[in-house]
Amino acid sequence: MAGSDVKLVGIRPCPYVNRAQIALNLKSVEHEFIELNPYTDRDMLVKLNPVHKKIPVLIHEEKPVCESLIVVQYIDEVWTNGTAILPYDPYDRAIALFWASYIEEKWSPLLGELRKAEGEEEKAALMEKIWQGMALLEEAFLKCSKGKAFFGGDSIGYVDIALGGFLGWIKATEILAGRKILDGEKTAGLVGWSERFLLDKAVKDVIMEPEKLAEIYQRYQASKAN
Amino acid sequence: MAGSDVKLVGIRPCPYVNRAQIALNLKSVEHEFIELNPYTDRDMLVKLNPVHKKIPVLIHEEKPVCESLIVVQYIDEVWTNGTAILPYDPYDRAIALFWASYIEEKWSPLLGELRKAEGEEEKAALMEKIWQGMALLEEAFLKCSKGKAFFGGDSIGYVDIALGGFLGWIKATEILAGRKILDGEKTAGLVGWSERFLLDKAVKDVIMEPEKLAEIYQRYQASKAN
Residue A105 within any structural domain of the chain: yes
Helix (H) or strand (E) holding A6: strand A6-10
Residue-range definition of the domain harbouring residue A17: 6-78
Sequence letter at residue B79:
W
ipTM value of the model? 0.94
- Give the other-Cβ count within 10 Å of B18's Cβ: 25
Q: Give the domain CATH number at A10.
A: 3.40.30.10
Tell me how close the Cα of A105 comes to any Cα of chain B, in angstroms. 9
- Residue at which a domain ends, from B49, B78, B107: B78
Residue A180 within any structural domain of the chain: yes
Number of domains composing chain B: 2
CA separation for the pair A165, A18 (Å, rounded) = 6
Q: Closest chain B residue to A63 measured between Cα atoms?
A: B91
Tell me how close the Cα of B219 comes to any Cα of chain A, in angstroms. 30
Nearest residue, CB atoms, B94 vs list A70, A90, A101 = A70
| Per-residue pLDDT, A170 | 98
Percent of chain A with pLDDT over 70: 98
Contact A90 B105 (CB under 8 A): no
Residue A44 banded pLDDT, cuts 50, 70, 90: confident
Give the torsion through C-alpha atoms of A87, A93, A98, A102, to 10 deg. 20
Residues B201 and B96 in one domain: yes
The answer to whether A140 and A191 have CB atoms below 8 angstroms apart is no
A105 — contact with chain B (CB < 8 Å)?
Answer: yes
The backbone torsions φ and ψ at residue A18, rounded to the nearest 5 degrees and listed phi first, read -55, -40
Q: What is the pLDDT of residues B15-61, one digit of tens each?
A: 999 999 999 999 999 999 999 887 788 888 899 999 999 999 999 99
Q: Quick one: which of B119, B91, B104 has its CA closest to B54? A: B104
* Entry pTM: 0.95
Alpha helical stretches, state H, chain B: 15-26, 42-48, 68-78, 90-102, 108-116, 120-145, 158-164, 167-177, 188-199, 210-225
List Cβ neighbours of B76 (8 Å cut-off, separation of 6 or more). Answer: B23, B27, B84, B85, B86, B158
Strand, helix or coil for residue A82:
coil
- Give the other-Cβ count within 10 Å of A86's Cβ: 18
CA separation for the pair A57, A68 (Å, rounded) = 8
Residue A1 within any structural domain of the chain: no
Residue A57 within any structural domain of the chain: yes
Q: Output the CA–CA distances (angstroms, integers) from residue A147 to A85, A137, A141, A156, B15, in the order listed.
A: 18, 15, 9, 14, 38
A88 — contact with chain B (CB < 8 Å)?
Answer: no
Nearest residue, CB atoms, A90 vs list B66, B77, B98 = B77
Distance of alpha carbon B119 from the chain centroid: 28
CA separation for the pair B138, B1 (Å, rounded) = 37
Tell me how close the Cα of B2 comes to any Cα of chain A, in angstroms. 14
How many CB pairs (< 8 A) connect A and B?
Answer: 55
Q: What is the pLDDT of residues B113-152, one digit of tens each?
A: 999 999 999 999 999 999 999 999 999 999 999 999 999 9
Residue B206 within any structural domain of the chain: yes
